[in-house]
């Protein structure tokens, strides 16, 4: 009986699994990296929940800090600049239109 109750309580735990993949990566002028991840988190308790999104981080190789609209502007090693606007788009700007990159940073939750 105790084993049965333990199994029930264990099955009610919020079990989550996160998958994260590098979408884009740029070297910064100061040696750090600007990394954009596509990620998905699956959680199963009673019903399932899936959260997915795209996030940007600044990494020095040991620590990653979120890169958002409060982070200001950073300079890439190739001379371009990157920032996140009020609309949550990451923009990598250049004088050359062909080198401009725009990526939507977002988070979305689905329940089933």
Q: Is 112's pLDDT higher than 60?
A: no
Taking the model in full, what pTM does it have? 0.79
Q: What percent of the chain has pLDDT over 70?
A: 83
Interval 20-57: pLDDT, tens: 999 999 999 999 999 999 999 988 766 677 889 999 99
Q: Is 82's pLDDT higher than 90?
A: yes
CA dist 78 and 86 (Å) reads 25
């Amino acid at each position: 009986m105790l084993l049965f109750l333990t199994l029930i309580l264990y099955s009610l735990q919020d079990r989550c699994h996160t998958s994260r993949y590098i979408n884009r990566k740029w070297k910064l002028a100061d040696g750090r990296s600007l990394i954009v991840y596509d990620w998905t988190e699956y959680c199963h308790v009673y019903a399932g929940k899936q959260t997915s999104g795209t996030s940007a981080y600044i990494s020095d190789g040991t620590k990653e800090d979120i890169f958002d609209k409060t982070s200001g502007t950073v300079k890439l090693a190739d001379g371009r600049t990157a920032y996140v606007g009020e609309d949550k788009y990451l923009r990598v700007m250049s004088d050359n239109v062909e080198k401009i990159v725009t990526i939507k940073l977002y988070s979305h939750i689905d329940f089933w």
